[in-house]
C-alpha cells in the first residue's frame, strides 16, 4: 500500500498538482495523452522503448506513435501470443507445427523485431523439455483446438514445442529471447517459475550460443538467477517490474542478490512500464534511486572505486541493453546515438529521491560561493516557485568580512529572492542525501535583480546573439593547491601536499587516488575533464575542463570548484584556488579559453591565409577584449592577492599585449591538436583567477568583445618574444587592484553595458578589498579558507 502512496506523491510532484489520485486524473484529463507522455518520458530520460506486442489493451497506440515520443522503438514478439493470433485467424489447421507457426514467425522477424519473448512460466512453467517431439506437440495442439475460440495456447507440451522451435528461430536470426521468470499474476504457479527449471535448456548444446534474458529480477528467485548468469554465458538478467511493486529496501535487496554472482555486464534495466506513461516514469525514477544506493554501498565497503561504480551505472542503464539487443545505427538510423548518449550521461543515473537537503547556491561579488540549505519538502513546496529570501547586503560582501562594503549602496535593508534554476539541479556525489542548485537573484519571482551575476551574463549573451548571431564558448583551466595540515607550536598550519616539479609523475602518483575521485565526481556532475597534471607549484595541480556554451561553462566552474574542495576535505586535505596562497611560489589561475560560434560552427577560426589565422569577427571580438583588458581585470582578478600572481616571467600575462602561442602574454591565440597549421581555434585569457565570479568575469569579456565587433576594431601586431624583454616598448597591465579599479572607473563602457547599480557594487567591494589588505599585510593568508 505504501508503494502506491509513494507513487501518487511522486507523480503529483511531477505534474505540480495535489497529491491525490483525483488531482492526477484531473491533470491527465485536462492535459491529454500527448502532453502526459512527453512529460513522463522526458522526466524519465527514456531514450528507447522495446514494446511487447502480447498485451491486449483497449485504445492501444501503435509502434509508429511511440516513435515520435522517444528516439528508438523496437518490437518484442511474444511467441505464445503470436501462436494464438494465428490460430484465431486461420480457418483450417495443419497439425504440422512448423507449417502453421514458423513461416509466419520468420516473416515477422524481417520487420522491426529486436527480440522474442516467452511467458511459458504462465503456461505450465519453466521446466521446458528441449526434446519435445512434434507428435507430442500435435497432441497438445489438438487439445487447444478442441477448447474452441478464442484459442489460448496453454497446453504444456505445445508451449514447450513452440518455445524450443522459437529458440531455434531466434538463434538463426541472432535475436535474443526474453523469458518471464519469478512472480506474476495469480494464474501463475510461482513454484514452476524458478529459473533453475531452465537448466535442461541451458545445458542443451543447440542453445549454448543463444542470448536469454531472465525478466523481473526473477524475484523472489534473484539468487538463483544470479547463479545462472554466473555459470551460463548465454544467461542475462533484467531487473524490471519489482521496482513498482516492492519497497525501495526490497528492490535494493533484490538487485544486490542479482549482482552478488552475476557479472555487472550481464545485468540490465527496464522500467517494465505499460499502459500508463506514469509507469515508465516511476520505474526509471525508482531504478535510479536503487542503483545509486547499491553502488554507493559498494563504494563505501571498498568493493568498487567511484570510477568503477560510474562505469557500472552506465552499463546497467544503457550499454548492456544496447549490446544485448544489438541496437546500432542500422537498427534505427542515427537515433541510437541519442540512446547511447542519454542513457550514458552520469547525471541521469543519480537518484531524484532519498534527499534530505537542497543547497541553493549563489556566487557573490567577491567571487565566494555561498548557499542556503532547505529541507527537501520546503524546497519543493515553496522555494521552487517563490525562492529563498536573502538580504541585499549579500552582494556587497568582501573576501574578508561577511558584511556589505561601505560604497556598494547595499545594506541590510531590503530583500531579494534566490530563485532556483532547476536546469542546474544536481545530486551531490560526495555526501549522502543532498542536492545542490544554482540560483538567480530576483526582486520578486519573475523580476531579475540588477545585481544578479547570472543575469548579467545572460544579458551579455543575449546582446551578442541578437546583434551578431554569435555565441561564446568557454573552457576553464582550474589550477589549485593541495595542502595538508600540520601542527606547530599548538597551531594548525597548512603546507603543500608535496614538493615535486611541473608535470611530475611522482606527484601524480601520490595524488592519483584523490585526482581520480575528483574526476569521477566531476563526471557524475556531467562536467567534462580534458586534462589533469601536476603544476609547477609545490602541491599544485591543474584540471582543464571541456569547453561549452559560456553560461554553462560558468555553472560548471562553480560546481567544479565545490567538488574539488569537497573531495580534498574528504581526504583531510585542503584544495585552495587562492591566486597566491604563498608569496614565494607560483600562483594559481583559472585561465579561460574562448571561441565564437554561429549556428553551432566555430567562426573564430579563419580561412586559409586569413589575418593571424582567425576570422574577421574573431579579430574584432578579441581586439575589443584587448583594449578593455585593464578594466576587465577588476572583474577577473578581483582581490589584491590576484596581482601578486600577475607578474612577468610567470606565464600569467603581465603586459598589455597579445600573441600567438606565447604563454607570457595575457591574450594568447591557440592552435590545439587537430586544427590546421596556421589557423587558430580559440584564444586564452590568463588574467582570470579562482577568486573571480565566473558570471561577472565572462560578462565583462563578452561586453568588451561586443564593443570590438560594433567598432570593427583590429588587433595590433602580435608579440612573439617574452614581453619582459621588451619592457620599454610594452605597457604593463594594472599591477594592483587599485590600478585596475582606476581603469574601470575611466572605462565607462562597462557601466553603460552592465548597469550602473551592478558596477557600483563591484567598485565598492573592490575598493574595500584594497583598503583592508593594504592595512593588513598578512591578511591574504586567510584567503585559503574562502577560496
Q: Output the domain CATH number for residue 445.
A: 3.10.20.70
Query: pTM for the complete prediction?
Result: 0.61
Question: What pLDDT score was predicted for residue 64?
Answer: 73
SS3 94: coil
Contact (Cβ atoms closer than 8 angstroms) between residue 752 and residue 631:
no
Question: What pLDDT score was predicted for residue 75?
Answer: 82
In the block, which residue shows the cell 515553496? 382
Could you give the residue ranges of the DSSP H alpha helices within 672-736? Answer: 694-711
Give the Cα separation of 272 and 251 in Å (integer): 14
> Measured at the alpha carbon of residue 681, what is the angle toward residues 334 and 480, in degrees to the nearest 5?
100
Whether residue 392 sits in one domain with residue 329: no
Question: What pLDDT score was predicted for residue 340?
Answer: 27
Whether residue 411 sits in one domain with residue 399: yes
pLDDT: which is higher, 556 or 282: 556
Classify strands 212-214 and 235-238 as parallel, antiparallel or unpaired. Answer: parallel
Q: Please indicate, yes or no, if residue 600 is contained in any of the structural domains.
A: yes
Contact (Cβ atoms closer than 8 angstroms) between residue 718 and residue 726:
no
Question: What pLDDT score was predicted for residue 99?
Answer: 40
Burial label, 780 (beta-carbon count in 10 A; 0-12, 13-18, 19+): buried
Residues 6+ apart with CB under 8 A from 747: 628, 630, 631
Which of 328, 348, 368 delimits the end of a domain? 348
Whether residue 467 sits in one domain with residue 413: no
Whether residue 9 sits in one domain with residue 139: no
Which of 290, 313, 348 delimits the end of a domain? 348
Whether residue 314 sits in one domain with residue 429: no
Question: What pLDDT score was predicted for residue 482?
Answer: 93
Give residue 665's Cα distance to chain centre. Answer: 35
Question: What pLDDT score was predicted for residue 106?
Answer: 56
Q: Please indicate, yes or no, if residue 682 is contained in any of the structural domains.
A: yes
- How many other CB atoms sit within 10 Å of the CB of residue 279? 19
Whether residue 410 sits in one domain with residue 263: no
- What is the residue range of 362's domain? 358-451
pLDDT: which is higher, 245 or 103: 245
Number of independent structural domains in the chain:
4
Which of 299, 314, 348 delimits the end of a domain? 348
Q: Please indicate, yes or no, if residue 217 is contained in any of the structural domains.
A: yes
Q: How is residue 722 annotated by DSSP?
A: -
With bands split at pLDDT 50, 70 and 90, how would you rate the model's confidence at 104?
low
Residues 6+ apart with CB under 8 A from 735: 643, 646, 654
Is residue 323 over pLDDT 90?
no
Q: How is residue 497 annotated by DSSP?
A: S
Whether residue 481 sits in one domain with residue 429: no
**Average of per-residue pLDDT across 644-666:** 90
Is residue 360 over pLDDT 50?
yes
Is residue 419 over pLDDT 50?
yes
Whether residue 439 sits in one domain with residue 293: no
Q: Please indicate, yes or no, if residue 148 is contained in any of the structural domains.
A: yes
Whether residue 414 sits in one domain with residue 268: no
- Phi and psi, residue 364, nearest 5°: -85, -175
Give the Cα separation of 620 and 707 in Å (integer): 9
Whether residue 445 sits in one domain with residue 323: no
Question: Minimum mean pLDDT among 143-152, 202-211, 355-364, 641-650: which range?
Answer: 143-152
CA distances from 500 to 396, 507, 581, 744 (A): 40, 6, 17, 39
Q: Please indicate, yes or no, if residue 353 is contained in any of the structural domains.
A: no
Whether residue 747 sits in one domain with residue 617: yes
pLDDT: which is higher, 593 or 185: 593
Could you give the residue ranges of the DSSP H alpha helices within 328-452? Answer: 329-332, 335-344, 376-378, 384-386
Question: Minimum mean pLDDT among 46-55, 458-467, 508-517, 632-641: which range?
Answer: 46-55
Is residue 388 over pLDDT 50?
yes
CA distances from 467 to 8, 228, 615, 706 (A): 48, 64, 17, 9
Q: Please indicate, yes or no, if residue 60 is contained in any of the structural domains.
A: yes
CATH number reported for the structural domain that contains residue 155 in this entry: 3.20.20.140
Give the Cα separation of 420 and 550 in Å (integer): 19
Classify strands 529-534 and 682-685 as parallel, antiparallel or unpaired. Answer: unpaired
Whether residue 491 sits in one domain with residue 404: no
Percent of the chain at pLDDT exceeding 70: 90
**Average of per-residue pLDDT across 712-739:** 90
pLDDT in tens, 551-586: 999 999 999 999 999 999 999 999 999 999 898 888
Amino acid at each position: 500500500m505504501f508503494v502506491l502512496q509513494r507513487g501518487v506523491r511522486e507523480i503529483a510532484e511531477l505534474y505540480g498538482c495535489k497529491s491525490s489520485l483525483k488531482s492526477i486524473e484531473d491533470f491527465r484529463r485536462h492535459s491529454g495523452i500527448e502532453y502526459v507522455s512527453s512529460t513522463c518520458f522526458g522526466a524519465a530520460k527514456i531514450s528507447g522503448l522495446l514494446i511487447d506486442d502480447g498485451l491486449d489493451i483497449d485504445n492501444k497506440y501503435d509502434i509508429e506513435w511511440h516513435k515520435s515520443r522517444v528516439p528508438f522503438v523496437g518490437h518484442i514478439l511474444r511467441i505464445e501470443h503470436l501462436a494464438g493470433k494465428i490460430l484465431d485467424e486461420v480457418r483450417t489447421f495443419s497439425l504440422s507445427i512448423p507449417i502453421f507457426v514458423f513461416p509466419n514467425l520468420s516473416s515477422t522477424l524481417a520487420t522491426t523485431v529486436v527480440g522474442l519473448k516467452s511467458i511459458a512460466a504462465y503456461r505450465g512453467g519453466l521446466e521446458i523439455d528441449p526434446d519435445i517431439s512434434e507428435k507430442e506437440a500435435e497432441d497438445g495442439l489438438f487439445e487447444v483446438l478442441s477448447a474452441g475460440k478464442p484459442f489460448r495456447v496453454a497446453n504444456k507440451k505445445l508451449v514447450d514445442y513452440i518455445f524450443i522451435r522459437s529458440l531455434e528461430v531466434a538463434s538463426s536470426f541472432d535475436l535474443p529471447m526474453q523469458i518471464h521468470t519469478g512472480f506474476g499474476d495469480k494464474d501463475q504457479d510461482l513454484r514452476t517459475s524458478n529459473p533453475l527449471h531452465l537448466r535442461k535448456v541451458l545445458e542443451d548444446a543447440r542453445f549454448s550460443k543463444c542470448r536469454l534474458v531472465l525478466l523481473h529480477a526473477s524475484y523472489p528467485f534473484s539468487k538463483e538467477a544470479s547463479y545462472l548468469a554466473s555459470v551460463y554465458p548465454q544467461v542475462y538478467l533484467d531487473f524490471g517490474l519489482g521496482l513498482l511493486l516492492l519497497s525501495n529496501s526490497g528492490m535494493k535487496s533484490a538487485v544486490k542478490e542479482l549482482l552478488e554472482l552475476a557479472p555487472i555486464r550481464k545485468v540490465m534495466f527496464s522500467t517494465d512500464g505499460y499502459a500508463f506513461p506514469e509507469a515508465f516514469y516511476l520505474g526509471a525514477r525508482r531504478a535510479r534511486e536503487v542503483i545509486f544506493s547499491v553502488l554507493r554501498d559498494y563504494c563505501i565497503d571498498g568493493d568498487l572505486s567511484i570510477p568503477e561504480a560510474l562505469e557500472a551505472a552506465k552499463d546497467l542503464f544503457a550499454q548492456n541493453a544496447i549490446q544485448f539487443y544489438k541496437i546500432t545505427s542500422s537498427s534505427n538510423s542515427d537515433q541510437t546515438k541519442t540512446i547511447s548518449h542519454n542513457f550514458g550521461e552520469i547525471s541521469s543515473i543519480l537518484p531524484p529521491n532519498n534527499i534530505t537537503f537542497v543547497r541553493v547556491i549563489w556566487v557573490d561579488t567577491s567571487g565566494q560561493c555561498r548557499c542556503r540549505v532547505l529541507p527537501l519538502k520546503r524546497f519543493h513546496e515553496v522555494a521552487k516557485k517563490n525562492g529563498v529570501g536573502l538580504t541585499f547586503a549579500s552582494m556587497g560582501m568582501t573576501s574578508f568580512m561577511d558584511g556589505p562594503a561601505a560604497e556598494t549602496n547595499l545594506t541590510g535593508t531590503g530583500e531579494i529572492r534566490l530563485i532556483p534554476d532547476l536546469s542546474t539541479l544536481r545530486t551531490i556525489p560526495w555526501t549522502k542525501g543532498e542536492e545542490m542548485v544554482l540560483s538567480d537573484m530576483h526582486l520578486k519571482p519573475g523580476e531579475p535583480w540588477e545585481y544578479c551575476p547570472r543575469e548579467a551574463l545572460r544579458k551579455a549573451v543575449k546582446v551578442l546573439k541578437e546583434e551578431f548571431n554569435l555565441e561564446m564558448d568557454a573552457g576553464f583551466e582550474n589550477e589549485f593547491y593541495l595542502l595538508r595540515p600540520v601542527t606547530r607550536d599548538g597551531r594548525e598550519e597548512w603546507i603543500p601536499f608535496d614538493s615535486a616539479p611541473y608535470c611530475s609523475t611522482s606527484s601524480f602518483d601520490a595524488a592519483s587516488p584523490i585526482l581520480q575521485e575528483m574526476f569521477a565526481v566531476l563526471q557524475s556532475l556531467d562536467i567534462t575533464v580534458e586534462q589533469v597534471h601536476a603544476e609547477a607549484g609545490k602541491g599544485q595541480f591543474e584540471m582543464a575542463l571541456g569547453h561549452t556554451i559560456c553560461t554553462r561553462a560558468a555553472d560548471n566552474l562553480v560546481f567544479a570548484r565545490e567538488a574539488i574542495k569537497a573531495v580534498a576535505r574528504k581526504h583531510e586535505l585542503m584544495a585552495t584556488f587562492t591566486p597566491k596562497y604563498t608569496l614565494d611560489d607560483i600562483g594559481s589561475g583559472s585561465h579561460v579559453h574562448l571561441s565564437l560560434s554561429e549556428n553551432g560552427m566555430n567562426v573564430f577560426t579563419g580561412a586559409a591565409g586569413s589575418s593571424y589565422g582567425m576570422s574577421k569577427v574573431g579579430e574584432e571580438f578579441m581586439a575589443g577584449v584587448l583594449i578593455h583588458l585593464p578594466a576587465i581585470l577588476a572583474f577577473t582578478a578581483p582581490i589584491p592577492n590576484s596581482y601578486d600572481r600577475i607578474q612577468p616571467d610567470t606565464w600569467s600575462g603581465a603586459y598589455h599585449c597579445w600573441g600567438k602561442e606565447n604563454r607570457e602574454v595575457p591574450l594568447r591565440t591557440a592552435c590545439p591538436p587537430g586544427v590546421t597549421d596556421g589557423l587558430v581555434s580559440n584564444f586564452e585569457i590568463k588574467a582570470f583567477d579562482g577568486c573571480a565570479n565566473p558570471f561577472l568575469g565572462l560578462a565583462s569579456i563578452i561586453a568588451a568583445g561586443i564593443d570590438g565587433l560594433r567598432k570593427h576594431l583590429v588587433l595590433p601586431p602580435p608579440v612573439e618574444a617574452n614581453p619582459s624583454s621588451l619592457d620599454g616598448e610594452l605597457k604593463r597591465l594594472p599591477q594592483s587592484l587599485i590600478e585596475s579599479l582606476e581603469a574601470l572607473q575611466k572605462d565607462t563602457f562597462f557601466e553603460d553595458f552592465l548597469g550602473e547599480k551592478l558596477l557600483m557594487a563591484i567598485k565598492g567591494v573592490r575598493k574595500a578589498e584594497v583598503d583592508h589588505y593594504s592595512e593588513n599585510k598578512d591578511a591574504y593568508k586567510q584567503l585559503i579558507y574562502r577560496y
